[in-house]
Amino acid sequence: MNLAPPILAGAPGSFAHSVFHERHPTLIDQVTRAHPYPADVESALRDLLYESTRGVIEPLAGHPADGPQWLEWGDGLWGLPWGEAPFLWAESYFYRRLLQSVGYFDDGAWRHIDPFAPTKSVELTGAAVTDEIAALSELTRLDEDSTRTALLTSALWGNRADLSFQLTARIQKRSDTLLVDHSSALWKALEEAADPTVCVIADNAGRELLPDLVFIDHLLTTHLAQRVVLYTKPHPYYVSDATMTDVLATIHRLLGAPALHAQRIGQRLWQSITTDRLTVRTHEYFCAPLSFHDMPDDLAAELAVAAVTILKGDLNYRRLVGDRHWPATTSFDDLTAYFPTSSVALRTLKSDVIVGITAEQVERLDANGEPWRTNGRHALIQASTRT
């Protein structure tokens, strides 16, 4: 298959351009308010913002352990304007540089202090999560098929408040918002597998990780999965991406909930970790600026044991199919044939790339005049299963 051109970071009027020129300035303000950083940190963050919007791409300063790897990843890009780099690469590098600016990897007092932790904490302890945890008890009134559909749908939509646990009892699959629904392929693959291991590549913490963990608990409790391997980021990334710290915080939130049903989910998750039915792993490649096509052999070998790999969220989708200007009708199966296992993408649309939908859907969505590819109002459950 001929490769479509990559989505670049700086095309005027594009979503990628708005990320660097509208979202990142807000993000830098948020980070500088999150902790009492000294003046040199704030200055470094402002310099990063200036460089990434008006300057050229500079290599990591000093001699960080991952410096040689980034030099290789950025070969041919150093010295170019940021807008001329692929969007996936430039966005990933922006966050690596942000961590450098706040001293995350340095041998100082700020080492391993998550610059996004206050934002994550506010969300996890907020009223919305409290309501959703309380609403988990509604699941006890559903039959098994309805429960698994509700939990899969909640994991799909994540932080969409209008499709959270409060409405699980009356979720309706709407073709105008759920553009592709291959959920039956997921259930079939799990039901036909012997002692299936399921890999889940996590996306965001907080209100998105909560339904992910509840869904994982359901897979283990119903024995749709005998074992789940949950992959998180090795360090903070993309503001709210989940780390092991976030997994533990979410389980503790369930354990401390007033509702008995939520407590029991937390207890089961805790027990599943201690008995290795739920394993949390990470890999440095999850913070690489590349798609999964280039994943290292050791990560591919880990994933290969799974009956199914579930990839959560927009970034993992971009990495799965390639962050390129694919025609939206391009086959999802064709683009994911390289992946070492059957794959299921649970993704709300928050960036430009999309494949596997029909020409009629594209025509209808384009006619609405809304930025349907990026506004988070549409979703996909796309499966590519191996026989």
3-state secondary structure the chain: CCCCCECECCCCCCHHHHHHHHHHHHHHHHHHHHCCCCHHHHHHHHHHHHHHHHCECCCCCCCCCCHHHHHHHCCCCCCCEHHHCEHHHHHHHHHHHHHHHCCCCCCCCCCCCCCCHHHHHHHHCCHHHHHHHHHHHHHHHCCHHHHHHHHHHHHHHCCCHHHCHHHHHHCCCCCCCEEEECHHHHHHHHHHCCCCEEEEECCECCCCHHHHHHHHHHHHHCCCCCEEEEEECCCCCCCCECCHHHHHHHHHHHHCCCCHHHHHHHHHHHHHHHCCCEEEEECHHHHCCCCHHHCCHHHHHHHCCCCEEEEEHHHHHHHHHCCECCCCCCCHHHHCCCCCCEEEEEEECCCCCCCCCCHHHHHHHHHCCCCCCCCCCCEEEEEECCC
Average pLDDT value for residue range 235-240: 95
Domains, the chain, ordered by start: 15-113 (no CATH), 119-384 (3.40.50.10880)
Average pLDDT value for residue range 12-37: 96
pLDDT at position 138, please?
A: 86
Mind listing the pLDDT tens digit for each residue in 244-284?
Answer: 999 999 999 999 999 999 999 999 999 999 999 999 999 99
The pLDDT of residue 355 is above 70: yes
Average pLDDT value for residue range 87-114: 97
pLDDT at position 141, please?
A: 87
Mind listing the pLDDT tens digit for each residue in 27-54?
Answer: 999 999 999 999 999 999 999 999 999 9
Average pLDDT value for residue range 5-26: 96
pLDDT at position 203, please?
A: 95
Return mean pLDDT, the chain. Answer: 93
Give the pLDDT band (50/70/90) at residue 175. Answer: low
Q: Say which residue, 49 or 141, is predicted with more confidence.
A: 49
The pLDDT of residue 331 is above 70: yes
pLDDT at position 258, please?
A: 94
Average pLDDT value for residue range 88-93: 98
The pLDDT of residue 170 is above 60: no
Can you read off the two tokens belonging to residue 255? 């354990």
Which of 80-94, 150-164, 296-310, 343-357 is predicted with the least confidence, judged by mean pLDDT? 150-164
